[in-house]
């Protein structure tokens, strides 16, 4: 099997991390052990960047952007590209669409610059598909209210609304790349919708995404 790169995206509280875990378990039942990773934090360097971005640091918008890009460049070089070259299935919790949504739309940085910077950080690598779990911001933030929030999760409702629009704008621009799923549904219902959509979009991999 050729390498396959599947990314899960969404605003805070969208359930993307849960769906990635459910997909990994599904693939395991099909005899495939995927490479499961995340941004930021999928490498040793990235773990330190993650602490700076979400726990210990207070970077300005531009510094925040470059920290995410540094994490991504190392992630692609060390984890994602080697796994794909080995023919592995890679599941990533976030990739460059998050940077465009959060730092571009959310922070208001120049969208053209953020796109170009992402190209440099990824070396032009794109996922085969981006599963975007979409739901109203108010519902998403209610889901995470009880947990200890990181710096990004503590941002304003207006910020998260801009981020959501940033994801949806990307999905409108690249419908062949994005798979938009209603994130308000129950997790296993969502998984079923994702599997069926992937089986239709990638018929040569339909066995892998079969629900049977």
pLDDT in tens, 11-35: 999 999 999 999 999 999 999 999 9
Given a cut of 90, whether residue 148 has pLDDT beyond it is no
The Cα 147–Cα 154 span in angstroms is 11
Q: What is the CATH number that goes with domain 4-205?
A: 3.40.50.300
- Residue 31's φ and ψ, nearest 5 degrees, are 85, 15
Given a cut of 70, whether residue 1 has pLDDT beyond it is no
Q: Residues 42-48: what's their mean pLDDT?
A: 94
Enter the tokens of residue 87. Answer: 């023919």
Q: Residues 30-47: what's their mean pLDDT?
A: 96
Where residue 146 falls among pLDDT bands split at 50, 70, 90?
confident
What's residue 2's pLDDT? 72
What's residue 147's pLDDT? 84
Which residues, other chains included, contact 153 with Cβ-Cβ below 8 Å and sequence gap of 6+? Answer: 12, 13, 144
Share of the chain above pLDDT 90, in %: 91
What's residue 47's pLDDT? 94
The strand pairing partners of 39, in sequence order, are none
Q: 178 with 132: CB under 8 angstroms?
A: yes
Q: Residues 77-97: what's their mean pLDDT?
A: 98
Where residue 57 falls among pLDDT bands split at 50, 70, 90?
confident
Q: 178 with 126: CB under 8 angstroms?
A: no
DSSP string, 61-112: HHHHHHHHHHHHHHHIIIIIHHHHHTT-EEEEE--HHHHIIIIIIIT---HH
DSSP string, 148-193: ---TTTTS-HHHHHHHHHHHHHHHHH-TTTEEEEETTS-HHHHHHH
Enter the tokens of residue 206. Answer: 């339909």
Q: Where are the domains of the chain?
A: 4-205
């Amino acid at each position: 099997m050729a390498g396959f790169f599947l990314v899960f995206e969404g605003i805070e509280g969208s359930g993307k991390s849960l769906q990635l875990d459910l997909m990994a378990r599904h693939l395991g039942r099909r005899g495939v052990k995927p490479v499961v990773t995340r941004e930021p934090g999928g490498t040793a360097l990235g773990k330190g960047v993650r602490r700076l971005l979400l726990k210990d640091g207070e970077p300005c918008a531009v510094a925040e952007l470059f920290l995410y890009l540094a994490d991504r460049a190392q992630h692609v070089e060390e984890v994602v590209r080697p796994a794909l070259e080995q023919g592995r299935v890679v599941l990533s919790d976030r990739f460059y669409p998050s940077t465009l949504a959060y730092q571009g739309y959310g922070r208001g940085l120049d969208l053209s610059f953020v796109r170009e910077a992402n190209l440099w950080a990824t070396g032009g690598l794109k996922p085969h598909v981006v599963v975007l779990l979409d739901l109203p911001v108010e519902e998403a933030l209610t889901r995470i209210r009880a947990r200890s929030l990181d710096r990004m999760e503590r941002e304003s409702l207006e910020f998260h609304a801009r981020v959501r629009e940033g994801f949806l704008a990307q999905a409108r621009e690249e419908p062949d790349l994005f798979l938009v799923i209603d994130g308000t549904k129950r997790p296993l219902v969502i998984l079923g919708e994702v599997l069926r959509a992937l089986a239709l979009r990638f018929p040569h991999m339909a066995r892998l995404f079969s629900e049977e």
